[in-house]
Chain A
Amino acid sequence: MKELEKTKRISISTVLFILVLIIGVLTFKQPRNVYKKTQEETLSALKSTDYLVHLEDIANQDPVIIDVRSKSEYSISHIENAINIPTAEILENKSIALLSDVKNTGETAFIYGKNPDEANSAWMLLYQLGYDNTKILNVETNHIDNKLVVKNYSLEKPIANYLEIFKTITPEKVEQIKKITPKPTKKVIPVKKKKKRKPEGGC
């Protein structure tokens, strides 16, 4: 069989194929942080609100406190011996190392930010990555006359009487401003047309 002798091309292509595979494998690094908790587990953790902790609960023992605000806010003022990890760097090696050794020693880390919403994103990410020894400090921090005021934050409380608004107030005549109210600029949210096309196949 004549063509079996012509092996130049096949050997070149096989070597190239193997090279591509080797390069691919060598340059490949496994994803560092992998979700340990499934969505359902995280959801059930959200239902029980024991991850929200008030300031006075932790006043006694000296806790590990993590401040997720930016460096500048942290430098202005922060809760004493709080460690500053801005949310953007929560997944950096340094912070992951810190969190894992906090987890090994069995302590719980408390996360706080300007308000619980900010701390929530960092906390949820860490929880899903398996650091379930973290909790959110349910506090609102703002800097008033160069002293950090930390107040407990009432979370998701509806304003007491917002239903009455529909009954009481009559619209007072707004006559002193006679200019025709400009048509509010119609902000068009560009709807990304992303069609997910399934692959069909077969012969």
Chain B
Amino acid sequence: MKESKKNRHVYWNPYFGGFLLGLLIIFTFYMTGRGLGASGVMKSGVVTMVDQVSHEHTLHNAYYSKFVSGDKSPMNNWLVFETLGVLAGAFLSGSLANRIGFRVQHSPKITVKRRLVFALLGGILFGLGAQIARGCTSGAALSGMAVLSTGGFITMLSIFGTAFLFAYFFRKNWI
């Protein structure tokens, strides 16, 4: 294989990655007293967009009003800054291992269009589920497990449980 192609897919040892992630969670809790998070950003994004479109709608809607009350702009949120960091960090790591490039990663068996449709579908489901459970895998499950929170464990179990159950139906997409 071409030299550059060869080391495109050589990742870290997962245990090493997990270890560093564990240290990072400890560092986050030690510095700020809260865990990591990801899906809160999408919520802030949506709230700001809806707020631009029609301000009074956000005030009336029960869910939006929680984030737009008073001068507190939804964008002034810890997660938004953290996501900026995640984007930069991922780009850095990707460029180091020259994995940068616009492409759609899909199993050879399926077309790009099907992959994008399933990605959109998965995204919608995940967005919905993340709001209901107040957290996603990195926010609720990972940070929750770090402090042994029951909610975190339940969310983690139900995510991976249903994922394993429904894996059979989506196997054509992946294998």
How far is A3 from B97 in the complex, measured between Cα atoms in Å? 14
* One of A2, A10, A13, A203 near B10 (C-beta < 8 A): A2
Candidates B11, B12, B23, B37; contact of A203 at CB < 8 Å: B37
Given the contacts A3-B10, A3-B11, A199 and B34 also touching, CB distance less than 8 Å: yes
Minimal beta-carbon separation of A96 from chain B (angstroms): 33
User: Counting CB contacts under 8 A, is A202 at the interface?
Assistant: yes
Q: How far is the CA of A7 from the CA of B17 in the complex (A)?
A: 11
Q: Is the CB of A199 within 8 A of B32?
A: yes
B40 to chain A: which residues have CB within 8 Å?
202-203
Distance to closest chain B CB from A196 (angstroms): 11
A10 contacts B140, C-beta separation under 8 Å: no
Segment with Cβ contacts to A, from B109-117, B128-136, B160-168: B128-136
Does A158 have its Cβ within 8 Å of any Cβ on chain B? Answer: no
Interchain nearest-CB distance for A169 vs B (Å): 56
Check A162 for interface membership: any CB of B closer than 8 A.
Answer: no
Tell whether A13 pairs with B13 under 8 Å between CB atoms, given A199-B32, A203-B140.
no
Q: Are A10 and B34 in contact (CB under 8 A)?
A: no
Closest to B18 in A: A10
Chain B interface size, under 10 / 10 to 19 / 20 to 34 / 35 or more: 20 to 34
The number of residues on chain A lying at the interface, defined by a beta carbon within 8 Å of a beta carbon of chain B, is: 16
Distance of A194 from chain B, by nearest CB (Å):
16
Q: Per-position contact with A for B32-50: 1 when CB-CB < 8 Å, else 0?
A: 1111111110000000000
A13 in contact with B16 given A203-B135, A203-B136 (CB within 8 Å): yes
Residue B14 at the A interface, CB < 8 A?
A: yes
Number of A-B contacts (CB under 8 A): 61
User: A201 with B33: in contact, given A3-B13, A4-B13, A9-B13 (CB under 8 Å)?
Assistant: yes
Contact yes or no, B134 A200, CB < 8 A: no
Which of A3, A10, A203 meets B38, CB within 8 Å? Answer: A203
B139 near A: Cβ within 8 Å?
yes
Confirm or deny: B138 has a beta carbon within 8 angstroms of a beta carbon on chain A: yes
B78 interface hit (Cβ, 8 Å)? yes
In the complex, A167 has a CB within 8 A of chain B: no
Report Cα–Cα, A198/B32, bound state, in Å. Answer: 9
Report Cα–Cα, A200/B33, bound state, in Å: 7
| Cβ–Cβ contact B19 & A7, under 8 A | no
Cβ < 8 Å to B, chain A residues 1-53: 2-4, 6-7, 9-10, 13-14, 17
Q: Which residues does chain A contribute within 8 Å of B10, judged by CB atoms?
A: 2-3
Say yes or no: is B15 at the interface (Cβ < 8 Å to chain A): yes
Give complex CA distance A2, B37 in Å: 30
Give the docked Cα–Cα distance between A10 and B34 (Å). 26
Q: A residues near B, CB below 8 A?
A: 2-4, 6-7, 9-10, 13-14, 17, 198-203
15 A–B contacts from the bound complex (CB under 8 Å): A3-B11, A3-B14, A6-B16, A10-B13, A10-B19, A13-B19, A13-B20, A14-B19, A17-B19, A200-B34, A201-B34, A202-B35, A202-B139, A203-B130, A203-B139
B residues engaging A (CB < 8 A)? Answer: 10-16, 19-20, 23, 32-40, 78-79, 130, 134-136, 138-140, 143
Top 8 closest pairs, chain A to chain B, by CB? A203-B139, A199-B33, A201-B34, A203-B135, A203-B37, A10-B16, A199-B34, A10-B15
